[in-house]
């Protein structure tokens, strides 16, 4: 705010009254332009270093042709497989239910790891997946519960 009105920012506590612009003051001219840079991504980070290793998004999320009129092409929730932490399931709104896996070409070197789509479900009539959860059943299998606003659980 201060830079818009040509005044020096103040970080004193308590804040000094009267250092803000007067009501009705006109500041610097601001120009804003929208630029399509895709929808939401899932990020893979190295737990030890915090370095970003990879990102994942469905192909439509990168395409400006899908910016409007195709629903939300981003992830709402991620559920990790309770029996295989390299697997995760994404509720991808209009993109469906997506299964991704962390795959490493050299397991001892995290920098060789990437997120790879290994499965999923998209209803040809449309999707609105907003929830996903996993659990292990009494039979020992992992079950995936996905909530689709269009068709239910």
Three-class secondary structure assignment of the chain: CCHHHCCCCCCCCCCCCCCCCCCCCCCCCCCCCCCCCCCCCEEEECCCCCCEEEEECCHHHHCHHHCCCCCCCCCCEEEECCCCCCEEEEECECCCEEEEEEEECCCCCHHHEEEEEEEEECCCCCCCEEEEEEEECCCCCEEEEEEECCCEC
- Predicted pLDDT of residue 46: 92
Domain span at residue 69? Answer: 37-148
Answer yes or no: is 77 within a domain. yes
Task: Specify the pTM.
Answer: 0.75
- 20 domain-assigned: no
Q: Give the whole-number percent of the chain exceeding pLDDT 90.
A: 54
Please give the tally of structural domains in the chain.
Answer: 1
- pLDDT tens per residue, range 61-88: 989 998 888 888 999 999 999 999 999 9
pLDDT at position 116 is 97
């Amino acid at each position: 705010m201060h830079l818009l009105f040509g005044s020096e920012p103040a970080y004193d506590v308590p804040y000094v009254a009267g250092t803000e612009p007067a009501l009705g003051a006109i500041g610097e001219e601001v120009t804003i332009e929208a630029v399509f840079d895709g929808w939401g991504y899932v990020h893979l980070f190295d737990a030890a270093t915090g370095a970003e290793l990879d990102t994942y998004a469905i192909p439509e999320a990168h395409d400006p042709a899908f910016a409007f009129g195709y629903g939300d092409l981003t992830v709402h929730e991620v559920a990790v497989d309770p029996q295989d932490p390299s697997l995760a399931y994404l509720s991808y709104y209009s993109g469906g239910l997506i299964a991704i896996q962390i795959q490493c070409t050299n397991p001892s070197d995290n920098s060789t790891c990437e997120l790879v789509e290994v499965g999923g479900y998209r209803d040809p009539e449309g999707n609105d997946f907003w929830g996903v959860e996993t659990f292990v059943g009494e039979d020992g299998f992992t079950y995936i519960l996905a909530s689709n606003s269009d068709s239910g659980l």
